[in-house]
Amino acid sequence: MNLRRWLLPVTSLVAVLAITAWEFASSRTGPGPLHPAHHELDSMFGSDCSSCHKAGAGVDPEGCIRCHEPIGAQRTARHGLHGSLSKKQFEDCAQCHSEHHGATSALIAPQAFAYAGVHDPAAYDHRHVADYHLSGAHAVLDCDQCHPAANAPMPPHGGRFLGQQQACAACHEDVHRGVFGVDCEACHGQVEKFRSAPGFLHSIFPLVDAHARVACEKCHEPGTVRATEALSKAPLPARTCAECHVDPHHMRANVPAKAILLGDTADCARCHASTKWKDARVTPAKHAEFGFPLRGGHAKAECNKCHGDASHPSKHGDSLPQLEACARCHEHPHRAAFVQAAVAVQGPADGCAKCHVDEQADFHLASTTVAQHAATAFPLVEPHAKVECSKCHGEPEKGLRKSYAERFLSRVPTDCRACHEDVHAGQFDHDARYAQCTACHQPLAFAPNAFGTTMHQKTAFPLTGAHDAVACSRCHDKVKDEVRAFHDTSHQCADCHEDVHQGEFDKSGKPATVGGRTGCARCHDTSAFSPVKTSTFDHGMWTGYRLEGAHARNDCGKCHLPNASAAATVVTAKATQRRLGKAAGKNCVDCHRDQHQGQFGQGKTIDCARCHSTEDFHKPRFDHSRDSRFALDAQHAPLACEACHKTYESPAGPVVRYKPLGVECGDCHKLANKRQGGR
């Protein structure tokens, strides 16, 4: 075969095909290659431009919908993120989805979500999904926990976020296996723990108080007729107390009762509530219906004192006692001669001569008359006229075999020390001035005392300023063995007053003396703790934070917000004021709201001083070429800031977007068709 005869024709054909391919390739109208997601639109001889572009009209939204049918369905139904866009936004796909940049640029532009009204994609709350809103536990999930392809480099067929099922069982196991239907949220919600089922209405047996804290399985044991699955098909009547709880008031199988001993216990609700079983106590009104009103000391007595329990039998046996039969339950504390004398004066009543009645809260608070007591040689006149009997005669368990007269025969009304203990435990015995209690106390009233300011000036701590108005117990508050200390009371501020600064001004490096003053006196005096002596308070020296600009002109309370607790109240000579609280911090964001909503960092990473000064926040010193990644050239420098930095609505209010913004031309400028005169 003669190859040379075919060499020239074949070579010519290859050259023609190469030139033709080059011509087709050079006729492409797009500025660059398509994203790999649209690779099927590329062909050997160029791109199928008409799939996305309409001649003379740029990007054709109908062309996009032909491939992205779910997006078109959202638009028709006015549902979802795309369905919430305006007509102008929906028809301008290139505003959010930039193409012809190859695989290096994402199909979703940085400003896309903000343009659609979503300031922070990570905090998107599904408000465009009419039948599914994030709340409770779902609100804190990352997007890819429900949408696995949310962060995938290549979007899957059908989209990153569409096509997910919203039924609970699509993601969670149905522990009821379909017995209660598919609407799990109706009972369980999304906020509280799944097992609590706050929406379930337990109508036949209302779950209140302690019953509301019992696990379902405790009452509805699986596999029984009371199981939740069984009751959903054949409901049963509510159970009585005895069906679940053991009666602790009766002997059973030779096992002693664990609680008080009672007869008829069929109706537990007579004494018990569902709040807490052990706190049961029948009301006085209910007890009166049983034949014995509870008044005075009886109203405070523990039930087992009369009814008995596992450790001792009931005092009254099977029959209830009559109210006047005191001796049936109570021992007699008096000698027969005393009782006879009392009866002779006043007459018998209820078995105890009416000195004691059941309305009294305490048996020892006897209502002995003045005439009866006068016969003891100790007439009840001031200051003893209203003193309780036990104050002089002691508790009944102390010497029950002696009469009151025999125990206190040697005492006379004028001898204070014969009855009264020295409450100061001998602190004033060294000074003859205080040999008698009346040196500091009134004879008819122990309190208030008569120890005034004039007497206090003769002590080692004269009262000055606000100390003159302070109650004695505020300074003399130390009590040992029930005795209040007056001697050896400290004179140091910190020993009586709480350090509201929590040691901040006593740390290493802080001046221990200012103008010859130490402790709190370095800034305060006794006239009024607040305000401080501003003329001597150097904010930079004490705190390490020098006040400049607008900060120096602020009131202290602007940065040191008052503590709202009651313990933070300071009483001064002029008014009641609030302590200044600790400053939030030294960073701008500790006190000031981030106007940029996290665009320049989060928390303490934000450096406001890069652009602002403390002198005037509204006069920024921002240098676009120095402080940004986009230096302004001759074309951009004359533009107003808002030409590129648009204001968007966010959940926290309007915000000017500075970041993220693209720095490529295509990020802000639309690439027009050649026929439109674009470049």
Element (H, E) at 577: strand 576-578
Q: Is residue 629 predicted with pLDDT exceeding 80?
A: yes
Through-space distance between the first and last CA atoms of the chain, rounded to whole angstroms: 55
Q: What does the alpha-carbon distance between residue 230 and residue 220 come to, in Å, rounded to a whole number?
A: 9
Q: What does the alpha-carbon distance between residue 202 and residue 210 come to, in Å, rounded to a whole number?
A: 14
Among 121, 123, 101, 102, which residue's Cα sits nearest to residue 110? 121
Q: Which two tokens stand for residue 669?
A: 């400028």
Q: Is residue 581 predicted with pLDDT exceeding 70?
A: yes
Confidence of residue 575 (pLDDT cuts 50, 70, 90): very low
Please state the separation of Cα 519 from the chain's center in Å: 36
271-286 tens-digit pLDDT: 777 777 776 777 778 7
Mean pLDDT of 581-600: 83
44-71 tens-digit pLDDT: 445 677 778 877 777 888 888 888 888 8
- In percent, how much of the chain has pLDDT > 70? 77
Burial class of residue 180 in the structure, from the number of CB atoms within 10 Å of its CB (0-12 exposed, 13-18 middle, 19+ buried): middle
Q: What does the alpha-carbon distance between residue 52 and residue 98 come to, in Å, rounded to a whole number?
A: 12
Pair 655, 600: CB distance under 8 Å: no
Q: Is residue 409 predicted with pLDDT exceeding 70?
A: no
Mean pLDDT of 645-657: 87
Q: Is residue 672 predicted with pLDDT exceeding 80?
A: no
Q: Which amino acid is at 428?
A: F
Q: What does the alpha-carbon distance between residue 134 and residue 124 come to, in Å, rounded to a whole number?
A: 9
Q: Which two tokens stand for residue 675?
A: 């026929």
Span of 176-190, 401-415, 469-483, 593-607 with lowest mean pLDDT: 401-415
Instruction: Work out the mean pLDDT of the chain and round it to a whole number.
Output: 76
Pair 435, 422: CB distance under 8 Å: no
Q: Is residue 222 predicted with pLDDT exceeding 80?
A: yes
Mean pLDDT of 136-165: 81
Mean pLDDT of 225-254: 79
325-339 tens-digit pLDDT: 676 677 766 666 666
At residue 184, the pLDDT reads 83
Number of Cβ atoms within 10 Å of the Cβ of 287: 19
What Cα–Cα distance (Å) separates residue 326 from each residue in 128, 298, 349, 350? 78, 11, 11, 8
Number of Cβ atoms within 10 Å of the Cβ of 342: 20
At residue 472, the pLDDT reads 84
Q: Which amino acid is at 478?
A: K
Q: What does the alpha-carbon distance between residue 514 and residue 504 come to, in Å, rounded to a whole number?
A: 16
Alpha helical stretches, state H, 450-554 = 453-456, 472-475, 493-496, 539-543, 550-553
357-375 tens-digit pLDDT: 777 766 666 677 776 676 5
DSSP type of residue 517: B
- Residues ≥6 apart with Cβ < 8 Å to 665: none
